[in-house]
Structure 1
């Protein structure tokens, strides 16, 4: 149960920023006993993986703040975010220290598919909302929304690893916030179009 919640939370976080949950899992597995990755996923905590994820995280954090570039980044993220969501879900769901489910340990592909789908769903909402927000705010909203997404990814990843019982609440809050943000941006864009049509 807890492993499934951890996997779901990390996958949703990967939909916002792929490298935050990956790096968190790698560092927690490397430096603590909170997560002990099974042999098939031990590469995640290697220095090569940690270094590569750090560089990619820094790149994503910078590029995602620039209007128009953020949309190109989201196109690349269409493949990357669900893949990493699936990997972190499978790795943590099959980690024996998080749960005692031998079924999940023996069948990590179930978590990989579920995690990929969750990450894809969150990514789709993010990627769909961003052009609307950029248009409505003339590009000024990109750095603000991107920062909020990064903070959300960090918070959701921490909750997923250390307080998995709260993942359902965190996912509900995330869904509500994304829905409100898209709705508000669309309303603002519609008002702007109407004002330009009158002028």
Structure 2
């Protein structure tokens, strides 16, 4: 790759952000692209293109695809992956700098890990809280629609990250701002819902 430091940081940011939404899609698609020769993976990410990793991440991708379409199951899946997506996003972001910058490699890898982990946490919280709020609706279509939107947005972001990394960085910045708005709105919604149905109020009505 003929990426400079700015482009590599943008790629790391995109991998971290996408991992917070669809970790197994990121691992599988990145590895598949490297395995097929579509993109030259950095040394730190070449493990993803190994057959065992591809089969494993592909199987988990299918499980996640189905689980993310089922109300309440998606929230349970998100809760389980709270402790998985963040460190995985950090590891993938750090892998971007594997064997690229010589003596400065460890410094940039650490910075990328912090960036990737933070972005994975932000996108994960936004996704999980939004889907939990949507699950309060009895109809399943909004849930499925949001899930499909996530399925499409991750490969689109990955493509942009490899082809136009600085544009991908701009998309991540927009995603951060949008996620912060979603998180604030969702917490207000959940708090209002709790006040409406809290046990004390129900007892007072009785």
TM-score norm. by structure 2 comes to 0.78
Structure-1 separation of matches of 2:104 and 2:25: 24
Structure-2 separation of matches of 1:41 and 1:64: 26
Q: Structure 2: which 5+ residue stretches go unaligned?
A: 1-5, 197-206
Write out per-residue CA displacement over residues 57-79 of structure 1, whole angstroms, 9 at most, x where no aligned residue.
11101101100000010012102
State the Cα distance separating 1:142 from its structure 2 match.
1.4
Are the structure 2 counterparts of residues 33 and 149 from structure 1 closer, same or farther at C-alpha, using a change threshold of 3 Å? closer
Structure-1 separation of matches of 2:129 and 2:85: 15
Write out per-residue CA displacement over residues 72-130 of structure 1, whole angstroms, 9 at most, x where no aligned residue.
1001210221122112211123353xxxx335533423322321121011101111111
Mapping for residues 42-191 of structure 1, pairs under 5 Å: 42-94=46-98, 96=100, 101-102=101-102, 105-107=105-107, 108-136=109-137, 138-178=139-179, 183=185
State the Cα distance separating 1:47 from its structure 2 match.
0.2
Q: Structure 1: which 5+ residue stretches go unaligned?
A: 195-199
**Count of aligned pairs:** 189
**Structure with greater contact order relative to length (CA < 8 Å, sep ≥ 6):** 1
Structure-1 separation of matches of 2:66 and 2:55: 17
Structure 2 residue matching 1:128: 3-state secondary structure? helix
Q: Bigger CA drift: 157-166 or 173-182?
A: 173-182
Does the aligned pair in 2 maintain the 1:133–1:185 contact within 8 Å?
Answer: no
State the Cα distance separating 1:181 from its structure 2 match.
5.5
RMSD: 2.9
Structure-2 separation of matches of 1:147 and 1:154: 12
Does the aligned pair in 2 maintain the 1:23–1:54 contact within 8 Å?
Answer: yes
State the Cα distance separating 1:148 from its structure 2 match.
0.8
